[in-house]
Amino acid sequence: MLKRQSLIVANWKMNGSLDSIRRLVGAIVPGIKDVPGEVLICPPFVYIAELVKLLEKTTIRLGAQNVSQMESGAFTGEIAPPMLKDLACEYVIVGHSERRMLYNESATQIARKFVAVQASGIIPILCVGELLEDRNARGTEAVIAKQLDTVIEVAGIKAFRQAVIAYEPVWAIGTGKTALPEQAQEVHEFIRLRLARHDHKTADSVRIIYGGSIKADNAEQLFELADVDGGLIGGASLVAKEFLAICHSVR
Ligand code: PEP
Instruction: Tell me the CATH number at 182.
Output: 3.20.20.70
| 53 within a domain of the structure (yes/no) | yes
pLDDT, tens only, 181-236: 999 999 999 999 999 999 999 999 999 999 999 999 999 999 999 999 999 999 99
- pTM for this predicted structure: 0.97
pLDDT, tens only, 31-64: 998 999 999 999 999 999 999 999 999 999 999 9
| 33 within a domain of the structure (yes/no) | yes
pLDDT of residue 1: 47
pLDDT of residue 3: 77
pLDDT of residue 90: 98
- Ligand 1 contact via 11 beta carbon (within 6 Å): yes
Average pLDDT over the chain reads 97
- Ligand 1 contact via 95 beta carbon (within 6 Å): no
Domain interval for residue 222 = 7-247
| 2 within a domain of the structure (yes/no) | no
pLDDT, tens only, 84-109: 999 999 999 999 999 999 999 999 99
Quote the Cα angle for 163-168-170, to 5°: 145
Residue located nearest, by CA, to atom 4 of ligand 1: 234
CA of 211 to the centre of ligand 1 (A): 6
96 CA closest ligand 1 atom index: 3
The average pLDDT across 155-179 equals 97
Residue 23 has pLDDT above 50, yes or no: yes
| 114 within a domain of the structure (yes/no) | yes
| 186 within a domain of the structure (yes/no) | yes
- Ligand 1 contact via 173 beta carbon (within 6 Å): yes
Q: What is the total count of domains within the chain?
A: 1
In 3D, which of 239, 223, 221 has the Cα closest to residue 231?
223
| 200 within a domain of the structure (yes/no) | yes
Choice from 101, 214, 228, 249 to test ligand 1 binding pocket (greatest atom count within 8 A of CB): 214
| 94 within a domain of the structure (yes/no) | yes
CA distance 247 to 227: 17
| 1 within a domain of the structure (yes/no) | no
Active-site residues, by number, are: 96, 168
- Mapping DSSP onto H, E and C, the string for the chain reads CCCCCCEEEEECCCCCCHHHHHHHHHHHHHHCCCCCCEEEEECCHHHHHHHHHHCCCCCCEEEECCCCCCCCCCCCCCCCHHHHHHCCCCEEEECCHHHHHHCCCCHHHHHHHHHHHHHCCCEEEEEECCCHHHHHCCCHHHHHHHHHHHHHHHHCHHHHHHCEEEECCHHHCCCCCCCCHHHHHHHHHHHHHHHHCCCHHHHHHCEEEEECCCCCCCHHHHHCCCCCCEEEECHHHHCHHHHHHHHCCCC
CA of 29 to the centre of ligand 1 (A): 21
pLDDT of residue 251: 80
